[in-house]
Amino acid sequence: MKNWEIVKGAKDFLPLEAAMKRAFENRAVETFTRWGYREVITPTFEYLEVIEAGAGQGIRDELFLLQDQDGRLLALRPEMTIPIARIVSTRFRDFEGVLRLFYNANIFRHAQPQMGRYQEFYQLGVELIGASGAMADAEVIALAAEVLKQEGLEYKISLNHIGIFNNLLQHSGLNESTRNGIKQLVLKKDLVGLKKMLSGLPMAPELREVMLEMPLVYGTPQVLNRLEAVKEIPGVQEAINELIEVYDHLAAYNIQDDVVIDLGILRGFDYYTGIIFEGYSPQLGYPLLGGGRYDNLLAKFGPPRVATGFAVGIERVLLALKGRNCTPREVYEVSGNDAAAVLAKARELREQGLIVTVDLLNRGGDGEVVVKRRAQR
């Protein structure tokens, strides 16, 4: 290792990139604020038990772990929903009503070096706590859409309800390890493997057919008719109804044309319980944002409370924007050999709201103050 090396999967933001990042964050934060969301800041690390209580032990492979002087294990936060669930359950324990919180944070996930993924990245997101129902789900989805829309990005939101898949699996009559196997294949999007596995299992043929076709169900709510054969299964019809209700609310937000029913998305975290969604742009090969309802997570830290939320990947939005939405600003440089006059001029221009630098390298001249305008490099 050379002493100037940067950790694999970590990134420096140079002034231009940092400015683009900051500009996007400011616009998103402004929108969150106008919708009544308030910022919270949590520690970069948490006790390992906190993270595992929220995300399950399967998360451990993805964690950066450290040890404090007392020998306790700490983890760099791999996402922000769990720390916020912890805050709400402790610091807002007696709060009644609806809480609207947002965050802007760096996130850490350990990845195999050959994967070419960032191990530290940035997320902006909101959590809406204490409200169930389609109005709450629609608010969070509409806010996510707004953040992409105000950047001028072409985008689509994919909408699903995790209850459909979970209830089909739960009532399939298959044992737990088989159900986990199926879930893994669906999460890995290995539809060939899924077909091979299901064809050898003792299950109702119509259920098998639906489970095979589900990852491909995509379109307007009419596509939900393809679940006709399984809607008697407990919980399935309720989930379908909730999905349609949220979709209908999104019409009132004027974004229904950008939303697609998509039974192929199943988010990675186990804590989701209801509506889930992801946002895409044709400019980028991976999702820009994702989120959903997690009604059982808060009970792991304190009083049970329903909740929903989303996170947007800041670097991903910047990639999709390809340098748009950030105009280079002009700088005024003040030179001259009379320091008092130069500084007075600089102060005057700054008070007008201009960006002003003092020329530190060429202090010559005949006492006159010179102001030059140039583009910021």
Q: Please give the residue ranges that form the binding site for another protein (CB under 8 A).
A: 115-116, 156, 158, 188-193, 195, 215-216, 218, 260, 262, 264, 280-287
Residue type, 198: L
User: By the 8 A CB rule, do 182 and 212 touch?
Assistant: no
Shortest distance in whole angstroms from residue 210 CB to another protein: 17
User: How far is CA 91 from its chain centroid?
Assistant: 24
Q: In the 8-state DSSP scheme, what is residue 365?
A: S
Q: DSSP of 304-345, one letter per residue? A: ---EEEEEEEHHHHHHHHTTTT-PPPEEEEEE-S-HHHHHHH
CA distance 105 to 120: 10
The two structure tokens encoding residue 116: 């070419």
User: By the 8 A CB rule, do 204 and 233 touch?
Assistant: no
Closer residue to another protein, CB minimum distance, 72 or 189: 189
Closer residue to another protein, CB minimum distance, 186 or 207: 186
User: What distances in angstroms separate CA 294 from CA 111, 130, 134, 287, one per listed residue?
Assistant: 25, 11, 14, 20
User: What distances in angstroms separate CA 244 from CA 175, 238, 251, one per listed residue?
Assistant: 31, 10, 11
Closer residue to another protein, CB minimum distance, 173 or 219: 219
CA distance 78 to 114: 19
Shortest distance in whole angstroms from residue 225 CB to another protein: 17
Closer residue to another protein, CB minimum distance, 102 or 118: 118
Closer residue to another protein, CB minimum distance, 171 or 183: 183
Residue found by looking up tokens 């996402």 in the block: 79
* Bridge partner residues of 310 (DSSP): 126, 291
Three-state secondary structure of 195-242: HHHHHCCCCCHHHHHHHHHHHHCEECHHHHHHHHHHCCCCCHHHHHHH
Closer residue to another protein, CB minimum distance, 215 or 309: 215
Closer residue to another protein, CB minimum distance, 128 or 224: 224
Shortest distance in whole angstroms from residue 164 CB to another protein: 18
Shortest distance in whole angstroms from residue 113 CB to another protein: 13
Closer residue to another protein, CB minimum distance, 146 or 190: 190
Shortest distance in whole angstroms from residue 119 CB to another protein: 16
User: By the 8 A CB rule, do 157 and 258 touch?
Assistant: yes
Residues 6+ apart with CB under 8 A from 286: 316
Closer residue to another protein, CB minimum distance, 97 or 116: 116
User: What distances in angstroms separate CA 320 from CA 10, 23, 121, 155, one per listed residue?
Assistant: 20, 15, 16, 10
Closer residue to another protein, CB minimum distance, 127 or 262: 262
Most distant CA pair in the chain, distance: 94
